[in-house]
Amino acid sequence: MVLFDIDWFKSVNDRFGHPVGDRTLIELTHRVAAILREADQFGRWGGEEFLVLAAHTDLRGATVLAERIRRAVADAPFPGVGPVSVSLGVAEMRFGWTLAMLTERADAALYEAKATGRDRVVVAPA
């Protein structure tokens, strides 16, 4: 699982307005969807937070995917906004875990990514 959040998104809405914020969300979804496989599930988790369930992917593969997402967002400016970055948390499903447990681990990794400087990938400990 890759859980990610647009860094400082509130300031995008405050500075440029909600229509530009909405276009930023749409642009981000296009960039991310372009690098995902057909088997992967991707959606908005809430606000400026997104979730990818990478099918048949181990922790290493999910970490590589998270870094690809980070670069796809950061490598080109967003129209009307400029540079945008994301912070990402990665966690791997373990036997006996519920989806809530997996999400909690990914969310903790995301929180660490934001707390340690943003624009980075943090992997939840195994």
What residue segments make up the domains of the chain, in order of their start? 2-123
pLDDT for 119: 98
Residue 70's pLDDT is: 99
Tens of pLDDT along 48-95?
Answer: 999 999 999 999 999 999 999 999 999 999 999 999 999 999 999 999
Residue 104 annotated among the catalytic residues of the structure: no
**pTM to 2 decimal places:** 0.95
Query: Which residue is catalytic, options 48, 49, 92, 104?
Result: 48
- The stretches of 8-74 forming alpha helices (DSSP H) are 9-16, 18-33, 59-74
Asked whether residue 126 carries a pLDDT value surpassing 90, the answer given is no
Name the packing angle between helices 59-74 and 18-33 (round to 10°): 130
Q: Mean pLDDT across the stretch 36-44?
A: 97
The pLDDT, as a whole number, for residue 105 is 98
> In terms of CATH, what superfamily is 2-123?
Reverse transcriptase/Diguanylate cyclase domain (3.30.70.270)
